[in-house]
Amino acid sequence: MSRIFITGSADGLGHGAAKELIAAGHEVVVHARSDERARTLRASLPGAAAVVTGDLASAAQTRALAAQVNAIGRMDGVIHNAGIYQEATRGSTPEGHARVLAVNTLAPYLLTALIERPGRLVYLSSGMHRSGEGSLRDIDWTARAWQSTQAYCESKLHLAALAAALALRWPLVRSHAVDPGWVPTRMGGASATDDLEMGHQTQTWLAVSDDAAARSSGGYWHHKQRQTPAAEVSDPVFQQRLLAKLEELTGVALP
């Protein structure tokens, strides 16, 4: 049995992953953005080991969330599933960051840096990361005119590159990125054509499976098949520039 923490577990892929892992007998710590959503989550996943709360748009709440997870004990795996997509405006978090950057990139980075190091890390990316080129020039959208789809693409490139960088930096940790496909979640919409079950099954497989492929590291996966990501993902120069930028924006260095 493994102890797994999943961000963004209130609905969609995160909820599906949590339900599947609980049914398989794993100890699953789930996450909701607010106390209200946490109450609903407890009712929908009564087998969850614990529910932790925190709004990932806030660095202070993200830090507090990491502390809640650490108080439970070391996780065997962490699935960074939470994310947002279409934001009409850049928005501004309590720290002044673009909301998409804060939730999709800065929060997973902070949690990775602050949560006691697990054995496995899974980051939810997207095939749209291939359109995220040039993202480090104005990563926080302070100079460019806001483009919500482009911001999302860039954030998913960041996550895939972060997963690859950690596979090199922490050789004892199995770190992967997942493209779930276009799935019919609240984010994907009812017209999505991909397989919802496969979307979360790849996450759970990488988090707990003893299959040789799942026990590798540094992969980019779609439906349990390893894929070739954008060139930036495996570029050590891009990885180091990204890590330096994330450290600058959060004030937290990656161990």
Please name each of the domains of the chain with its CATH number.
Answer: 3-250 (3.40.50.720)
211-239 pLDDT tens trace: 999 999 999 999 999 999 999 999 999 99
Q: At 165, list the tokens.
A: 């960088």
Percent of the chain with pLDDT over 90: 89
pTM for the whole structure: 0.94
Reply yes or no on whether the pLDDT at 101 is more than 60: yes
Catalytic residue among 123, 152, 220, 224: 152
pLDDT value, residue 134: 83
Question: What are the C-alpha distances in Å from 154 to residues 101, 126, 181, 242?
Answer: 9, 10, 17, 11
Residue 210, number of CB atoms within 10 A of its CB? 6
166-216 pLDDT tens trace: 999 999 999 999 999 755 545 544 554 566 667 789 999 999 999 999 999
**Burial, 43: exposed, middle or buried (Cβ in 10 Å; 0-12, 13-18, 19+)?**
exposed
Query: Contact, 97 vs 62, CB < 8 A?
Result: no
Catalytic residue among 19, 85, 123, 156: 156
pLDDT value, residue 200: 85
- From the list 174, 166, 104, 167, the residue with the least C-alpha distance to 140 is 104
Q: Is 85 a catalytic residue?
A: no
Q: Is 220 a catalytic residue?
A: no
- From the list 55, 154, 174, the residue with the least C-alpha distance to 105 is 154
pLDDT value, residue 182: 59
Average pLDDT, integer, range 21-39: 97
